[in-house]
Amino acid sequence: MRIDGDWIEADGVQRVLHLLTDAGHQGLLVGGCVRNALLHQPVADIDIATDAVPERVIALAKAAGLKVVPTGIEHGTVTIIVAGEPHEVTTFRRDVETHGRHATVAFATRIEEDAARRDFTMNALYADAGGRLIDPLGGLPDLLERRVRFVGDAGARIREDYLRILRFFRFHAWYGDPEVGMDAGALSACAENSVGTESLSRERIGHEMRRLLAAPDPAPAVAAMRATGVLGRVLPGTDPRALAPLVHLEPPYAPDWLRRLAALGGPDPTDALRLSRDEARKLTVLSDGIGSMEGPAELAYRHGAELARDVVLLRAAVLEAPLPEGWEIDVARGAGAEFPLRASDLMPTLSGPELGARLKELETRWIASGFELSREQLLA
């Protein structure tokens, strides 16, 4: 079995792999890039694994005149820059000691050890510079049948790192077979250990939840998260019922994790998921918009076309209402509308709070007129 793709042929990837193999080491592509190439899906980031220890990788890169940065040296990762492009190289590792949050690792020399500490069999696939597949754990059949299967005993692996619970749902949403459903043993291990997710950092939870909700259809995985009690631990008070209808209504618009997050309702997740200020602001617009009386045009005038469109989709999904007729035209109209008055138009007759109140009142009238009233009509 062989994988291919422009990304493998790329000079930088070939150069880094040969840098290792020419020196007598193993140099292998691993993880998401190999998995996605086998599924003919886009490859986002490229991870390279080697039996060479980080100091040796650094020495080899320097000897070849390449820039190298110790980006995660404590985890065995260094980044080699070739023609401005970063390439992450991680030394084979094995888990030695765990605290249920981060596995403490030691370097290893055998690929089987490195494979055994990875989370799922479909993520423990390797390929050499020629694209030849190396599958130490028999992950290929699982991948092709779209089975997300833990490497080893699900419960034991989860207790080493509780993030693997969230990763199980994330990878299922992206690569699992929704018809076949999820591995029953893994699901009960997630349920039994769900309390462990409370010890995870909010950054790690936020990262996984973003990626889960960005999947083409995360609804079945999120429903399973709810059923196992994991959703209630990570985002207490949420309800995933509106998610499937939302996903159904979305096309032709692209999946958007924040829109999906808004569909879950519940208390403000800004802290729980470590949202940025901008994300938190948008989420507030979306959540408040679901229950507000503003029509599509007014929403678009106030918040822009994209947030208005998301509110319209969310309302339909959450309130189980049909999409309002002509809403896309209304959104475009509202997004393009410009209020024809300035504060200076009302001065010096009005000033201070009075001026603000009057301006607001005129703006409300103008919006109610469908953005039709002119400057002169408003001032009359």
Residues near Mg ion (CB under 5 A): 32, 45
For residues 90 and 193, which CB has a smaller minimum distance to Mg ion in the complex?
90
For residues 34 and 313, which CB has a smaller minimum distance to ligand ATP in the complex?
34
User: Interface mask (CB under 6 A) for ligand ATP, residues 8-47, using x and -?
Assistant: -----------------------xx-----------xx-x
Nearest to 287 by CA among 270, 263, 308: 263
Rounded-to-integer distance, Cα 88 and Cα 91, Å:
10
Determine the interface stretch with ligand ATP among 9-17, 60-68, 156-164, 292-300 (rule: CB under 6 A).
156-164
Determine the interface stretch with ligand ATP among 78-86, 158-166, 194-202, 307-315 (rule: CB under 6 A).
158-166
The minimum distance between CB 123 and ligand ATP, in angstroms, equals 3
For residues 49 and 187, which CB has a smaller minimum distance to ligand ATP in the complex?
49
Helix (H) or strand (E) holding 30, with range, is: strand 27-30
Rounded-to-integer distance, Cα 250 and Cα 343, Å:
40
Rounded-to-integer distance, Cα 10 and Cα 206, Å:
32
For residues 79 and 270, which CB has a smaller minimum distance to Mg ion in the complex?
79
Which residues 6+ apart lie within 8 Å of 227 measured at CB?
A: 187, 191
CB atoms within 10 A of CB 222: 27
The minimum distance between CB 24 and ligand ATP, in angstroms, equals 25
Q: Which of residues 190-219 bind ligand ATP (CB under 6 A)?
A: 211
Rounded-to-integer distance, Cα 268 and Cα 187, Å:
27
Contact 91, 52 (CB under 8 A): yes
Pairing of strands 133-134, 47-50: unpaired
Nearest to 237 by CA among 222, 223, 226: 226
From the list ligand ATP, Mg ion, none, partner contacted by residue 205 (C-beta under 5 to 8 A by kind) = none
The minimum distance between CB 168 and Mg ion, in angstroms, equals 16
Which residues contact ligand ATP (rule: CB under 6 A)? 31-32, 44-45, 47, 118-119, 123-124, 161, 163-164, 167, 211
